[in-house]
Structure 1
Amino acid sequence: MIIRKVEEKDLEAVSAICMDSFLQSVASTLSDEGITTFSNIAARDAFLDRMRGDNLMLVAENNENVEGVIELKEGRHVAMLFIRPESQKSGIGRKLLISALNHAKVETVTVSASLSSVTAYENYGFERSGEIGESAGLVYQPMELKLNKPMHA
């Protein structure tokens, strides 16, 4: 398993992993608006635009197959963290998160966690930091991780 920066050739796989995982664990809890919003954010060309900006994007690769992706926005906010559904709960998310946090530019990193991913983020050491919110149909729990605290094992 290697963690490396996303390359343009990875974007189809990255988009597919995000959509597969989203459709399996999040979409059923959202409105049509939320599903459309996420589909637009997870589209290949949307990733390409963000990749050309200030967002750090890393993939976990195993035997030349992309298994997961993380996107760190402006060095302060986890914008995406998705693992191929069949590879979840195998430590890939933790490896991606640790690698991304090495590039953090702030002491407190935030995430707007889908409600189905709150427990996973709590396992990574994040804490809830506000009330559940909604934006463009996406329902989320604000969370934060203080980087001077170790992540849970």
Structure 2
Amino acid sequence: MNIRELDNEEYDKAILLSLAVFTKCGTTDFTTNGLETFKKFIYNTELMNELTIFGAFDSNELIGIIGTKLNGTHISLFFINPDYHHKGIGRKLFNRAYADQIVEKITVNSSSYAVGFYESLGFSKTAEEQETDGLRYTPMIKMQNQL
């Protein structure tokens, strides 16, 4: 497995992976409106270009991504192909994305599916589950002393 930062030209692959995993694993976390909200985000070139995206590859196949913004202080996208879940790829992606980052805190709006995973990385809930524009999520944070 190879993990590296994606070039902007590879963001289309990241978008396709994100949408596929989002619609397969997060079905309880969005309404029809929420799916449209998510699509508006991932298909907005300007918003996507604000992200730094790392990808995990099995041979040449993109199997996972993590996208951060605001100099790494917020995780906007984090998806692993379900065929590769529970194999440590998410943790390796997270560790690679933050290997050269010095941040006080990292925030994420987690799907219900991923709350346990984020807790395993040291994140804690800052509020109960919320809903915005048809998307359900749990706000979480990881403080620097836990990185």
Q: Same fold (TM over 0.5)?
A: yes
AA of the residue aligned to 1:56:
T
Match of 1:22 in 2: 22
Q: TM-score, normalised by structure 1?
A: 0.85
Matched, 1:124 2:94: no
Match of 1:2 in 2: 2
Q: Distance in 1 between matches of 2:100 and 2:135?
A: 27
Go from structure 1 to structure 2 and tell me whether the alpha carbon gap of 1:52 and 1:23 turns closer, same or farther (over 3 Å shift): closer
Give the drift of 1:140.
Answer: 0.7
Alignment of 1:67-146 (within 5 A): 67-74=63-70, 75-146=72-143
Which structure 1 segments of 5+ residues have no match?
none
Aligned residues: 146
Q: Distance in 1 between matches of 2:38 and 2:48?
A: 17
Equivalent of residue 57 in structure 2, options 44, 57, 61: 61
Deviates further, 78-87 or 97-106? 97-106
CA root-mean-square deviation: 1.8
Q: TM-score, normalised by structure 2?
A: 0.88
Which structure 2 segments of 5+ residues have no match?
none
